[in-house]
Amino acid sequence: MTLAPALVAELDELVTHYPEKRAALIPALHRIQEENAGWISPELMEACAGYFGLEPVEVWGVVSFYPMFRTTPPGKHLVNVCHNISCELRGARDVIDQVCRVTGASVHGTSADGRFTVETVECQGACANAPMMEIAGEYHEDLDAAKVERILGDLA
Amino acid sequence: MSAHPTYMLDRCEVADSHTLKVYRENGGYEALEKVLKTPLSPEDVIAVLKDSGLRGRGGAGFPTGLKWSFMPDVAKDDRPRYLAVNADESEPGTCKDRVLLREDPHGLIEGILIACYAMRAEAAYVYVRGEYRLPYERVAAAIDEARAAGLVGENVMGTDFSCQIWMHKGAGAYICGEETGLMESLEGKRGHPRPKPPFPAGYGLWGNPTTVNNVETIQNVPFIVSRGAEWFRSMGTEKSTGNFLCGISGHVERPGVYELPFGLSARSILEEVAGGVWKGRELKAFFPGGSSTGVLPAGSIDVAMDHDSVKGAGSMFGTGAMIFMDETTCVTRIAEVTLRFYEHESCGQCSQCREGTQWLHQIFRRIERGQGTMDDVDMLSTLASGMAPGKTICALSDAAAIPTHSVVKHFRDELEEHVRLGRCPLAGTSQPVGAGA
Ligand SMILES: Cc1cc2nc3c(=O)[nH]c(=O)nc-3n(C[C@H](O)[C@H](O)[C@H](O)COP(=O)(O)O)c2cc1C
Ligand code: SF4
Ligand code: FES
């Protein structure tokens, strides 16, 4: 497997930002994951290693270190709920329960219909608007049960 | 709310504050012009910074001018040199840099340009945590605008000063906020902190001289250059000058990010700025500066919020992220959440940290569920003493040990009551949920 030509063109520009090519690895993995419905397969890691002139195991070492990279496919919507201190103090556990109830997924799991994957995540830097969850790069803040229900209901 | 002069957040309240047009209409890039057209020498800029007393806003409070002066002399060292801007903001409770990145990206760019000029750095990398999508897009768009306007790249403002600014996206690891972990990550590796020495000024990115600064630190630079060191020192305290962004979260009426001068009492911040403890309840405890700082009991609420005073009260100023907890809070549960976080984020290189965070998390968890013993309470202190200070490659181990010691010190009774009763004495706070714990 090789990377798509459009992506390769994009990476060719990206690597010029750094004195060493490898520095673009993490931004590149983000782009690879975005183009692949939210996860990075072993084949893609190999293709990425080929692009950077690295051993596949080196790419694996990086992918496995960073929580934002997934090595299994998520459901259609990945719901990340913060469970750190400020959110905990303002009801994160109720939000997690509510998210699980509405989506039918358990934490770290995917709903039977494949629509939702639910994860708990560490502090997202939105503590003054706790509790919060993040879906597809968008922050949903100051959550309560009704708001959670509405946000999840609005997802296609 | 106490009346005090503000500067950092003023512009952020203007509509379209993130655009070059609005930034310029509000005095933007005048500090850079002053530096390049006067011209001020790099040494002049560093002297003003030193004189201002500006201290880093990333958590350690290190004097910024002094840090910049550690970069090697160009006459003796012609390696390329870099600035890395730390926008990894992941310390629990901390939510201030996000506001600046989103609402005032040109303020950051102007600060970066002046910093690079002063340190003779050829390029800056802005390391933004991967989850900050909108803040990332705002800064990236602002760099494009600035580049098109001749403010970034070759021959800035038509002078012979050149400087590149590149965005770089992280991928969700707290340890990449630690400056050497950040550099490893920027080089495309796991975020494993490096042993120090060598320090970044001598051996940083790709082995070259590098300075790492927090977003808010850099954001202060243009203001200091424009308005002078004396103006800056007129705010705050003698040793903690200027204003800081105070992220307030937890059990208060009005959580938010506020710009405050150093030295206000925690009580006045709680009562006047944040509207007091929510629901008319009493205060039980607070973190003065993020989860890595020692938890203080309600009795310490009169501490002044500046580096020395908070240290005097047995904690740390940290990132200025105040987390308040009301009387119904199970501090043991909060300790469990805190240590779960550090266990999750430990990079695993040092056994004290890797094993210690795991043990501390398990013990707090056990005590909170009513399954702990009196020996467990003592074990917390013993373990934490084996982890810090200065026993590991980086300070994450300290960040886990410090709140642990403080909980044992100030909330020993609560821990012991859990053991005695065999359950959480604070009804309703300890129900384990789903698999979320
Ligand atoms: C575990 C750990 C995490 C850190 N996370 C951050 C962070 O997210 N943002 C930050 O600016 N500094 C963070 N720091 C502090 C940095 O190492 C460094 O001191 C700071 O970026 C220097 O900038 P300043 O001098 O402008 O404050 C962290 C430190 C440690 C030990
Ligand atoms: S102290 Fe912890 S996080 Fe820091 S280098 Fe050691 S194991 Fe890694
Ligand atoms: S604790 Fe949830 S966003 Fe910071």
Judged by CB atoms closer than 8 Å, whether chains meet at A88 and B333 is answered as yes
Distance CA B399, CA B201 (A): 24
Q: Is the pTM of this model over 0.95?
A: yes
Most B CBs within 10 Å: which of A103, A122, A129, A139, as the mutation test of the B interface? A122
Residue B291 Cα, ligand 3 centroid: separation in angstroms? 11
CB atoms inside a 10 Å sphere around CB B351: 10
Angle at CA of residue A107, ends A105 and A109, nearest 5°? 55
Domain identity same for B303 and B345: no
Distance CA B195, CA B173 (A): 19
What is the domain range of residue B295? Answer: 243-326
Q: Last residue of some domain: A65, A93, A109?
A: A65
Judged by CB atoms closer than 8 Å, whether chains meet at A121 and B93 is answered as no
pLDDT of residue B429: 52
A97 domain-assigned: yes
CB atoms inside a 10 Å sphere around CB B75: 6
Domain identity same for B358 and B313: no
Which of A67, A120, A139 has its CB closest to that of B172? A67
* Residue A150 Cα, gap to closest chain B Cα (Å): 22
Number of domains present in the structure of chain A: 2
Q: Please name the residues in contact with B422: beta carbons below 8 A apart, sequence gap of 6 or more.
A: B370, B371
Domain identity same for B57 and B26: yes
Q: Last residue of some domain: A36, A65, A94?
A: A65
Whether the per-residue pLDDT at A80 is higher than 90: the answer is yes
The two structure tokens encoding residue A64 = 């496995």
What is the domain range of residue A61? Answer: 5-65
Domain identity same for A81 and A141: yes
Domain identity same for B66 and B123: yes
pLDDT of residue B70: 98
Domain identity same for B249 and B225: no
Instruction: Select from B345, B352, B359 the least CA-distant residue to B389.
Output: B352
* Residue A5 Cα, gap to closest chain B Cα (Å): 22
Domain identity same for A59 and A102: no
Residues of chain A contacting residue B171, judged by C-beta atoms under 8 Å apart: 26, 29-30, 66-69
Domain identity same for A57 and A81: no
Whether the per-residue pLDDT at B1 is higher than 60: the answer is no
pLDDT of residue B258: 98
C-alpha distances (whole Å) from B247 to each of B96, B124, B255, B302 are 6, 26, 8, 18
Report the CATH number at residue B267. Answer: 3.10.20.600
HSE of B254 in the Cβ direction (CA atoms, 13 Å)?
12
User: DSSP strand E in A74-149: where?
Assistant: 77-82, 109-110, 116-121, 133-135, 138-140
pLDDT band for B434, please (50, 70, 90 cuts): very low
Judged by CB atoms closer than 8 Å, whether chains meet at A86 and B170 is answered as no
Instruction: Looking at the CA of A120, name the nearest ligand.
Output: 3
State the angle between helix axes of B351-368 and B331-345 in degrees (0 to 180), rounded to the nearest 10: 150
Quick: pLDDT tens for B302-356.
999 999 999 999 999 999 999 999 999 999 999 999 999 999 999 999 999 999 9
Number of domains present in the structure of chain B: 3
Domain identity same for A119 and A58: no
Distance CA A138, CA A31 (A): 17
Q: Which chain A residue lies closest to B341 (C-alpha atoms)? A: A122
Q: Whose CA is nearest to atom 23 of ligand 1?
A: B213
Give Cα B308 distance to the centre of its chain: 17
A71 domain-assigned: no
Residues of chain A contacting residue B168, judged by C-beta atoms under 8 Å apart: 23, 26-27
Per the prediction, chain B carries an average pLDDT of 96
A72 domain-assigned: no
Domain identity same for A29 and A97: no
Domain identity same for B309 and B394: no
Judged by CB atoms closer than 8 Å, whether chains meet at A22 and B187 is answered as yes
For residue B323, the surrounding DSSP H or E stretch is strand B321-326
pLDDT band for B437, please (50, 70, 90 cuts): very low
Domain identity same for A88 and A134: yes
Domain identity same for B39 and B68: yes
Which of A26, A30, A120 has its CB closest to that of B185? A26
Whether the per-residue pLDDT at B431 is higher than 60: the answer is no
A70 domain-assigned: no
Quick: pLDDT tens for B207-262.
999 999 999 999 999 999 999 999 999 999 999 999 999 999 999 999 999 999 99
B355 domain-assigned: yes
Domain identity same for B337 and B270: no
Pairing of strands B243-250, B256-261: antiparallel
pLDDT band for A132, please (50, 70, 90 cuts): very high
Q: Last residue of some domain: B326, B360, B386?
A: B326
Report the CATH number at residue B137. Answer: 3.40.50.11540
Domain identity same for B119 and B16: yes
Judged by CB atoms closer than 8 Å, whether chains meet at B168 and A129 is answered as no
Judged by CB atoms closer than 8 Å, whether chains meet at B93 and A62 is answered as no
Domain identity same for A56 and A90: no
Report the CATH number at residue B347. Answer: 1.20.1440.230
Domain identity same for B199 and B260: no
B73 burial (CB, 10 Å; 0-12 / 13-18 / 19+) is exposed
Domain identity same for A48 and A86: no
pLDDT band for B151, please (50, 70, 90 cuts): very high
B390 domain-assigned: yes
Strands lying side by side in the sheet with A116-121: A109-110, A116-121, A77-82, A133-135, A138-140
Q: Last residue of some domain: B233, B254, B283?
A: B233
Residue pair B417/B427 in contact (Cβ under 8 Å)? The answer is no
Domain identity same for B335 and B322: no
The two structure tokens encoding residue B60 = 């350690």
Domain identity same for A81 and A139: yes
pLDDT of residue A68: 97
Per the prediction, chain A carries an average pLDDT of 97
Quick: pLDDT tens for B59-72.
999 999 999 999 99
Q: Last residue of some domain: A18, A39, A65?
A: A65
Residues of chain A contacting residue B431, judged by C-beta atoms under 8 Å apart: 93
Domain identity same for A59 and A100: no
Domain identity same for B160 and B178: yes
pLDDT band for A156, please (50, 70, 90 cuts): confident
Whether the per-residue pLDDT at B2 is higher than 80: the answer is no
Domain identity same for A130 and A89: yes
Pocket of ligand 2 (CB under 6 A): B 175, 193, 346-350, 353-354, 392-394, 396-397
A148 domain-assigned: yes
Quick: pLDDT tens for A82-98.
999 999 999 999 999 99
Whether the per-residue pLDDT at B435 is higher than 50: the answer is no
pLDDT of residue B427: 64
Domain identity same for A92 and A146: yes
Classified as helix, coil or strand, B86 is strand
Quick: pLDDT tens for A15-50.
999 999 999 999 999 999 999 999 999 999 999 999
Report the CATH number at residue A87. Answer: 3.40.30.10
pLDDT of residue B3: 80
Report the CATH number at residue A48. Answer: 1.10.10.1590
